[in-house]
C-alpha cells in the first residue's frame, strides 16, 4: 500500500479562470488543509504542446505560481514547483510513451477536441500529453489527484499506464491513482452558454470570469450572464433542465463553501435580477483579495523564481529515487 500523497497541476497557457479556481485550486488548498502531503505543479511542458510565446510562458508560469500562493497554498507545507525544472517528469514520460498504446491516446476526447480535423498538423507532444501527465503523477507515487471533471478520462489513462507497466514488468511498483472530483464546482460552465465548459480558450471574454478581472468587470459579467426567464426554483430538484440557473447556483454555493441545498435555501424563489447582484457580491468578496495578492506577488519575480526553485529541489528528492527504481525494473 502507498501512503496518501496528493499531486495536481495547471498549465500556464492562458488566463486563469473561475473554473480553474473552483475546480482545481480551491480543492488543492482543501487537500493541503487536510494535512496530506501535496505537490502542485505549473505544467509548462504541457503548455508547449501548443506553441507559446517564450516571454509569455515565463510570465504566466510566475502568474500561476502567484495564483497558487494567493489562493492559499503555502510553499512551506505544499511543494510548489515548475514541471520543466524536474527532469524526471520527462524521463519517466519516455518510458510511459513506450508503455501506452497509440489507440489509447487516439480515444482521448481532449485530443479530439484540440487537434480537431487537423490532427496531421498537431504536435506529437499534444498526442502524447496523457503519457506525460501519467508520469507527472506517478513519478511521485501520488495516490490522489484533485482535478475538474474534464480530466477524468486522462486519469483513467494514468491508471491504465500504471497497470500495464506493472503487468509488463511483473511488479506492483506504481499505485492506482484516485481522481478527486468532488463538490458542486467540478465543471463550471460558460456564462454565455450553460452547455459549454468555462474555459480560457473560449473566444468570448464575457463567457468567463478571469482571476485578474476587477470588481466592476466581475459584477458586469455576472449581471449579463445568460439565464432563462423563470425565477430560481424552490429547491435543488427544480434546477433540473435549467443549466444556466444550475451553473450560477453551483458557483454561488462553491464560493461560500456551502452545499447546493444550503445555498438554495438562501435564495429560493428569487428573480435573477435580485440574485445576480448577490452572486456578484459573493464573487467579488472571495476573488478580489486573491487577485490583489497575485498582483502584489507578481511585483517580485525573483522571489517567485526562488520559491519555485526550492519547490523543484524538494520535488526532485521524491522523484529521483522513483525514477532510478523504474530504470532498474526496466533494465536500464
- Interface residue list for Na ion (CB under 5 A): 150
**CB under 5 to 8 A by kind: which of Na ion, ligand ADP, none does 226 bind?**
none
184 annotated among ligand-binding-site residues: no
Name 234's Cβ contacts closer than 8 Å, sequence gap at least 6: 268, 269
Tell me: is residue 198 an annotated ligand-binding position: yes
Q: Are 226 and 196 in contact (CB under 8 A)?
A: no
Work out what residue 200 binds among ligand ADP, Na ion, none; the CB cut-off runs from 5 to 8 Å by kind. Answer: ligand ADP
Cell of 327: 530504470
At CB < 8 A and 24+ separation, what contacts does 157-163 make? 157/100, 157/104, 157/108, 157/130, 157/133, 158/130, 158/133, 158/134, 160/100, 160/104, 161/96, 161/99, 161/100, 161/131, 161/134, 162/134, 162/138
Q: What is the nearest approach in angstroms of ligand ADP to the Cβ of residue 17?
A: 6
Handedness of CA 124, 130, 133, 137 (dihedral sign): negative
**Closer CB to ligand ADP, residue 10 or residue 162?**
10
221 is catalytic: no
Closest distance of CB 326 from ligand ADP, Å: 25
Is 19 labelled as part of a ligand binding site? Answer: yes
Judged by beta carbon distances under 5 to 8 A according to partner kind, the member of ligand ADP, Na ion, none in contact with residue 154 is none
| Nearest residue (CB) to ligand ADP, 85 versus 326 | 85
Is-catalytic flag, 112?
Answer: no
Among 26, 117, 152, 200, the one annotated catalytic: 200
Give residues in contact with ligand ADP (CB under 6 A): 10-11, 17, 19-20, 23-24, 147-148, 150-151, 186-188, 197-200
Q: Is 149 annotated as a binding residue?
A: yes
Q: How far is the CB of 197 from ligand ADP (least distance, A)?
A: 4
11 annotated binding-site participant: yes
Q: What angle do CA 255, 257, 259 make, to 5 degrees?
A: 110
Sign of the torsion angle spanned by Cα atoms 144, 180, 72, 15: positive
- The whole-angstrom distance between residue 213's C-alpha and the CA centroid of its chain comes to 19
- Closest to 225 (Cα-Cα) out of 254, 245, 250: 245
Q: Is 197 a catalytic residue?
A: yes
Among 26, 112, 117, 197, the active-site one is 197
Q: Please give the positions annotated as active site.
A: 114, 197, 200
Please report, in range form, the residues annotated as the binding site for L-tryptophan: 136
Amino acid at each position: 500500500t502507498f501512503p496518501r500523497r496528493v499531486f495536481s497541476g495547471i498549465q500556464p497557457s492562458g488566463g486563469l479562470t473561475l473554473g480553474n479556481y473552483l475546480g482545481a485550486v480551491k480543492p488543492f488548498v482543501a487537500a493541503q488543509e487536510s494535512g496530506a502531503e501535496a505537490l502542485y505543479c505549473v505544467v509548462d511542458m504541457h503548455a508547449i504542446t501548443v506553441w507559446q510565446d517564450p516571454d509569455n510562458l515565463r510570465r504566466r508560469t510566475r502568474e500561476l505560481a502567484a495564483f497558487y500562493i494567493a489562493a492559499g497554498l503555502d510553499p512551506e507545507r505544499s511543494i510548489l514547483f515548475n514541471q520543466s525544472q524536474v527532469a524526471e517528469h520527462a524521463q519517466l514520460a519516455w518510458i510511459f510513451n513506450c508503455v501506452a498504446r497509440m489507440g489509447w491516446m487516439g480515444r482521448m476526447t481532449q485530443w479530439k477536441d484540440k487537434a480537431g480535423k487537423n490532427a496531421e498538423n498537431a504536435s506529437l507532444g499534444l498526442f502524447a500529453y496523457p503519457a506525460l501527465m501519467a508520469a507527472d503523477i506517478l513519478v511521485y507515487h501520488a495516490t490522489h489527484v484533485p482535478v475538474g471533471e474534464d480530466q477524468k478520462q486522462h486519469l483513467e489513462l494514468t491508471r491504465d499506464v500504471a497497470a500495464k507497466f506493472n503487468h509488463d514488468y511483473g511488479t506492483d511498483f506504481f499505485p492506482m491513482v484516485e481522481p478527486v472530483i468532488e463538490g458542486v464546482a467540478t465543471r463550471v460552465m460558460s456564462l454565455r452558454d450553460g452547455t459549454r465548459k468555462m474555459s480560457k480558450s473560449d473566444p468570448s471574454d464575457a463567457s468567463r470570469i478571469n482571476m485578474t478581472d476587477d470588481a466592476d468587470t466581475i459584477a458586469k459579467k455576472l449581471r449579463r450572464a445568460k439565464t432563462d426567464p423563470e425565477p430560481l426554483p424552490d429547491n435543488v430538484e427544480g434546477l433540473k433542465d435549467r443549466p444556466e440557473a444550475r451553473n450560477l447556483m453551483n458557483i454561488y454555493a462553491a464560493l461560500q463553501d456551502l452545499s447546493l441545498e444550503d445555498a438554495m435555501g438562501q435564495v429560493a424563489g428569487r428573480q435573477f435580477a435580485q440574485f445576480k447582484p448577490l452572486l456578484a457580491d459573493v464573487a467579488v468578496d472571495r476573488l478580489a483579495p486573491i487577485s490583489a495578492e497575485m498582483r502584489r506577488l507578481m511585483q517580485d519575480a525573483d522571489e517567485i523564481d526562488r520559491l519555485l526553485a526550492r519547490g523543484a529541489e524538494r520535488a526532485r528528492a521524491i522523484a529521483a529515487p522513483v525514477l532510478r527504481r523504474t530504470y532498474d525494473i526496466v533494465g536500464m
